[in-house]
Amino acid sequence: MGSVVGIDLGTTNSAVAVLGHDGLPTIIHNREGDNTTPSAVLFDDGEVTVGKQAKNAETSLPNSVVRFVKRHMGNPDYRFMPDRTEREYGPEAISSFILRFLVDDASDFLGEEVVDVVITVPAYFGDAERTATRQAGEIAGLNVLQVINEPTAAALSFGLKGTYSGKVLVYDLGGGTFDATLMDISANNFRVLASAGDRNLGGFDFDNELIRLVSDRYRELGGTVDTEDYRQIALIREQAEAAKHRLSTSEKAKVRIGSESVTIVRDEFDRAIADLVTRTRYILEDVMDQAGLSYGDVDKLLLVGGSTRMKIIERSVREWTGLEPDKSIHPDEAVALGAAIVAELRSAAESGKAPAVRATVEDVVAQGLGVAVVSDDGSKMLNSVVVEPNTHVPNRIKASSFATVGATRQIRLQITEGDENGVELQYVKVLGESLLCLDYDLPARAPLNVVFVVNEDSTVEVELHDSANEMLIGQMAVHRNSNLKQVDVVALRKQSREVVVQ
């Protein structure tokens, strides 16, 4: 096995890192000399361009540039059709182009082809999103050794630097997602205590509030904002993003739209995003409640993700927790650096060699997993949680409270994702279902054991056992409704080889 790298596949920006000969992770510069690469893809005249050049083309070719695709991972209905083409691209295919760009630069930097990778995902990503991320890697021609949670990776990059011991709270606000994770670090053992998040809360949403603020001010000056004019919206978004960055260091920022100039003061921006900031507070408090601890039990607070540069974030988190954020990690690079450490650990485990770093990681599943059961009156299907949120992974969890309704040779098993027990299926996500055919009869009320096997990256497989006869009925490969079939992954990988990514 050659060099392995860790990849932070971000909503707005991505990064790649590798473990150096000194045993420390280091960021790999992209071909433009930058530490991070915009997660933007341009489709133009049959060519695919990734990164800064693609992002810069958004204002001139708004219908040919796609950004923020990470927010659509695991969504089977999302398709992007660039201008002047009849071909559609799903989130897995688009993400594969970003991954190829990153890995090509890593290969040039290391002087050898890179195939083996670890990719990070938000802690609150579910099974469908994690599977989609793995599939993106496969389409890119990569061997994805593991998918790991972003806050866990960030804590690794912090904790290994000085063999730190203590409880660490990670507040991770990226471009498109928010996660909060509480972790106990001791003697290079990283054990997640609790994790929660929102996959649709990030810098993108803060930008949207600033765009609304700027658009309203522009209308007051007599200007017109056409939400169907993608070029105008792209221009306003570009200006708003730049203004948000300026407001991280200045009290006000100017946004130019056409011939007009709009000035935004930090205080009014803070008021516009106050509700979004409060949403992160509720999630932070939920994590502490799940862990059964108070902020006074926390030894270190880490702010991760580029969106934590907003002054209101640092000020608010300090007020809520009474903790001073530790500034020893880079908010944009910590996740990729931690992923490089995990890449080394996984590579060593597979090759049988001693790793260059010593660490163990005990992560958790952020969302509950279960099965659909028939209600007592037989009128509806309800959710029955088998794997509770914050169960450590990898793990094998057995539930023995199930039985057949009537005599049967077929069992339909629906796998669910959601924390609420006893609710109707409309309130949870059905990951997929399988129909298992038996070669013998099961009587009515035959007792069954359902076993969930949750892997290191929180993806799940299921076993079904006949508990009366103490025998395995079968291992259930869940046919995930939200993900590509393997034959589609293979076809997209073949098509991807024909595309030059620049």
Cβ count within 10 A of residue 254? 12
Tell me, what's the pLDDT at 234? Answer: 85
Give 3-state DSSP helix, strand, coil % of the chain, rounded to 5.
Answer: 35, 35, 35
**Catalytic, out of 129, 138, 150, 314:** 150
The arithmetic mean of pLDDT across residues 216-225, rounded, is 85
Beta bridge partners of 399: 450
- For residue range 47-72, list pLDDT tens digits in order: 899 999 999 999 899 999 999 999 99
Average pLDDT along the chain: 91
Tell me, what's the pLDDT at 173? Answer: 96
Beta bridge partners of 190: 185, 361
Structure-model confidence comparison of residues 461 and 205, the more confident one: 205
The arithmetic mean of pLDDT across residues 270-279, rounded, is 96
The arithmetic mean of pLDDT across residues 432-457, rounded, is 87
For residues 42-53, one letter each, b for 16 or more C-beta atoms within 10 angstroms of the residue's C-beta and e for the rest, the string is bbbeeebbbbbe
pLDDT at 458 over 70: yes
Tell me, what's the pLDDT at 479? Answer: 63
pLDDT at 474 over 90: no
The arithmetic mean of pLDDT across residues 184-212, rounded, is 93
Provide, rounded to the nearest whole percent, the portion of the chain with pLDDT above 70: 99
Tell me, what's the pLDDT at 497? Answer: 82
**Catalytic, out of 172, 179, 241, 314:** 172
The arithmetic mean of pLDDT across residues 449-470, rounded, is 86
Tell me, what's the pLDDT at 413? Answer: 87
Tell me, what's the pLDDT at 143? Answer: 96
pLDDT band at 219 (very low <50, low <70, confident <90, very high): confident
Active-site residue flag, 297: no
- Rg of the chain on CA atoms, in Å: 24
**Catalytic, out of 8, 209, 332, 457:** 8
Query: What is the Cβ-side half-sphere exposure of residue 174, based on CA atoms within 13 angstroms?
Result: 37
Domains recognised in the chain with CATH numbers: 4-165+328-362+487-497 (3.30.420.40), 203-272 (3.90.640.10), 367-482 (2.60.34.10)
C-alpha angle 323/327/332, rounded to 5°? 120
Span of 265-274, 298-307, 371-380 with lowest mean pLDDT: 371-380
Residue 458 φ/ψ region, left for φ over 0, alpha for ψ in the -120 to 50 degree band, beta for the rest: left
pLDDT at 162 over 80: no
Tell me, what's the pLDDT at 311? Answer: 93
Tell me, what's the pLDDT at 1? Answer: 62
Active-site residue flag, 172: yes
The arithmetic mean of pLDDT across residues 242-248, rounded, is 89
Lookup: tokens for 358: 């010593």
Provide, rounded to the nearest whole percent, the portion of the chain with pLDDT above 90: 64
pLDDT at 174 over 90: yes
Beta bridge partners of 396: 453
pLDDT band at 258 (very low <50, low <70, confident <90, very high): confident
Q: Where are the beta strands (DSSP E) in 21-98?
A: 25-27, 37-38, 40-44, 47-50, 65-67
pLDDT band at 161 (very low <50, low <70, confident <90, very high): confident
- For residue range 105-114, list pLDDT tens digits in order: 999 999 999 9
pLDDT band at 472 (very low <50, low <70, confident <90, very high): confident
d(CA 82, CA 89): 9
Active-site residue flag, 311: no
pLDDT band at 287 (very low <50, low <70, confident <90, very high): very high
C-alpha angle 395/401/402, rounded to 5°? 100
**Catalytic, out of 55, 58, 70, 314:** 70
Active-site residue flag, 8: yes
The arithmetic mean of pLDDT across residues 230-246, rounded, is 87
For residues 69-93, one letter each, b for 16 or more C-beta atoms within 10 angstroms of the residue's C-beta and e for the rest, the string is bbbbbbeeebebebeeeeeebbbbb
Lookup: tokens for 26: 């280091």
Contact between 204 and 71 (Cβ < 8 Å): yes
- Residue ranges in 352-466 assigned as alpha helix (H): none
d(CA 284, CA 289): 9
- For residue range 127-141, list pLDDT tens digits in order: 889 999 999 999 999
- For residue range 371-427, list pLDDT tens digits in order: 999 988 888 999 999 999 999 999 999 998 888 888 988 888 889 999 999 999 999
